[in-house]
Amino acid sequence: MSQGLLLFFLAMALHFVVNDHGLREQHKSAYRRVGRWVLSAAILLGWMLGLLVEVPEFVVAAITAFLAGGTVLNVLKEELPEERESRFWAFALGVALYATILLAL
């Protein structure tokens, strides 16, 4: 596994932990009963589909761009809300450190 892929995995894992916490707070028992299982099944289904179907490169690029945009919007909505006294400078420092690590590779 490449270093870039490992860093991406770690960044997304941390993002999903924060996202999971937000979904638990916002949807409570509905998320615990159904939501988390649907999301877990979607990951496994996507993995199996990826093993079985060869997707053209331009489709992969379009899906990646769509997911990246959705992730950025989700981060801005969930991880930096004003009402929770989020720390923008801590977020900005994390972004800068991650970018520095990626550029160093």
Supply the pLDDT for residue 90: 77
pTM of the model: 0.60
CB 24 within 8 A of CB 32: yes
pLDDT in tens, 20-44: 888 888 898 999 999 999 988 998 9
User: What does the domain layout of the chain look like in residue ranges?
Assistant: 3-104
> Phi and psi (nearest 5°) for 80?
-130, 35
pLDDT in tens, 71-87: 888 777 766 766 666 67
Percentage of the chain surpassing pLDDT 70? 91
Closest residue by Cα to residue 64 from 77, 55, 76, 75 = 55
